[in-house]
């Protein structure tokens, strides 16, 4: 299978990634657009998913989110979810300019934070003909309510307000770790499995990953509500992959959101926790996603 480096202009910011050519296809092929979740970079197993899709006759376009990895953008390490949604749309536009891509057969895949983006994209961008969302964030406010103790929240609010004033005065943004070894220490993703996956994957696959995001990133997370769009995805086909023991983006929140989606839709319950979909449970997660795209986009001509 062929993979080449790509870059494209997202209204003034250059985003970079990889394009995987569909195996055994000579003409235009359906294409899946993929970006990663909260602070992660493309080397953290997105290549594995893209290879599965390409082997099934699907092109795959993978890119690093702005402010992260190989992509440009400032401030570094800041996640604005709505900007990331817009960048997916730029990626879809770019894909449509490529000779190998059938612009009428484009799907989006997202995981965790970008799983929320996939829900929004399915609702607002009708160029998207199939959606796969894996272990998705469906509600930022509900997610923070699950992960942050109630008696800590006022302190976070005071930090957000102080950071806003400092940035207005010209100071650099305050930073917070993505993960911490002690789940009770300040971090954006305060679970033990988050610490394990990010630190191990960063060490073995993605040395460019950095364990920090801007404090404002966490504030914007709490404001982001992808589930409010889920009823509008129909008639675009939606596959949701939910991990049974997920406590980072809790399974029950995703399943509740799925019940509000309309047909055509499918729910697959994966064994294990949030990060198993990338590693131990990779085949269980990538197989249904591949099959969904082949069913609804077709294989390459």
Alpha helix ranges (H) inside the chain: 46-55, 81-95, 113-124, 140-147, 150-168, 192-204, 215-222, 251-260, 282-297
How confident is the model over 223-244, as a mean pLDDT?
98
Residues 6 or more apart whose Cβ sits within 8 Å of residue 110: 34, 35, 37, 88, 116, 117, 118, 119, 121, 132, 133, 134, 136
Q: pLDDT tens across 252-285, in order? A: 999 999 999 999 999 999 999 999 999 999 999 9
Q: Using an 8 Å Cβ cutoff, are 31 and 106 in contact?
A: yes
Q: What pLDDT does 246 receive? A: 96
Q: What pLDDT does 241 receive? A: 98
Quote the percentage of the chain above a pLDDT of 70: 99
**In the chain, where are the structural domains located?**
3-140+225-297
Closest CA to 40 of 149, 215, 199: 199
What the block records as the tokens of 11 is 């209204």
pLDDT confidence tier of residue 225, bands split at 50, 70 and 90: very high
pLDDT confidence tier of residue 300, bands split at 50, 70 and 90: low
Q: Using an 8 Å Cβ cutoff, are 106 and 96 in contact?
A: yes
pLDDT for 301 beyond 70: no
Q: What pLDDT does 180 receive? A: 95
Q: What pLDDT does 98 receive? A: 98
Q: Give CA torsion, residues 232, 118, 191, 45, to 10 deg.
A: 160
Q: pLDDT tens across 4-48, in order? A: 999 999 999 999 999 999 999 999 999 999 999 999 999 999 999
Element (H, E) at 269: strand 265-270
Q: Any idea which architecture 3-140+225-297 has in CATH? A: 3-Layer(aba) Sandwich (3.40)
What the block records as the tokens of 206 is 């993605």
Q: What pLDDT does 1 receive? A: 62
How confident is the model over 126-151, as a mean pLDDT?
92
- For tokens 């809790």, the residue is 250
């Amino acid at each position: 299978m062929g993979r080449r480096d790509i870059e494209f202009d997202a209204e003034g910011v250059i985003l970079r990634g990889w394009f995987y050519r569909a195996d055994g296809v000579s003409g235009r092929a359906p294409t899946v657009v993929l970006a990663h979740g909260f602070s992660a970079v493309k080397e953290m197993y997105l290549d594995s998913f893209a290879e599965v899709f390409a082997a099934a006759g699907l092109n795959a376009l993978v890119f690093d989110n702005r402010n992260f990895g190989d992509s440009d953008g400032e401030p570094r390490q800041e996640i604005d979810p709505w900007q990331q949604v817009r960048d997916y749309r730029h990626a879809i536009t770019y894909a449509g300019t490529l000779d190998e891509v059938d612009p009428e057969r484009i799907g989006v895949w997202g995981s965790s934070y970008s799983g929320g983006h996939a829900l929004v994209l399915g609702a607002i961008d009708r160029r998207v003909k199939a959606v796969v969302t894996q272990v998705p964030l469906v509600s930022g406010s509900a997610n923070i309510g699950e992960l942050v103790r109630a008696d800590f929240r006022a302190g976070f609010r005071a930090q957000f307000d102080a950071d806003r004033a400092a940035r207005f005065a010209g100071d650099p943004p305050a930073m917070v770790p993505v993960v911490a070894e002690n789940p009770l220490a300040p971090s954006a993703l305060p679970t033990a499995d988050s610490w394990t996956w990010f630190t191990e994957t960063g060490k073995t696959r993605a040395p460019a990953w950095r364990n920090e995001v801007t404090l404002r990133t966490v504030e914007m997370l709490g404001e982001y509500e992808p589930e409010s769009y889920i009823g509008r995805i129909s008639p675009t086909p939606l596959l949701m992959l939910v991990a049974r023991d997920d406590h980072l983006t809790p399974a029950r929140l995703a399943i509740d959101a799925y019940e509000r989606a309309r047909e055509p839709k499918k729910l697959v319950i994966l064994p294990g926790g949030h990060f198993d979909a990338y590693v131990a449970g990779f085949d269980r997660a990538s197989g249904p996603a591949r099959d969904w795209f082949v069913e609804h986009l077709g294989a390459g001509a």
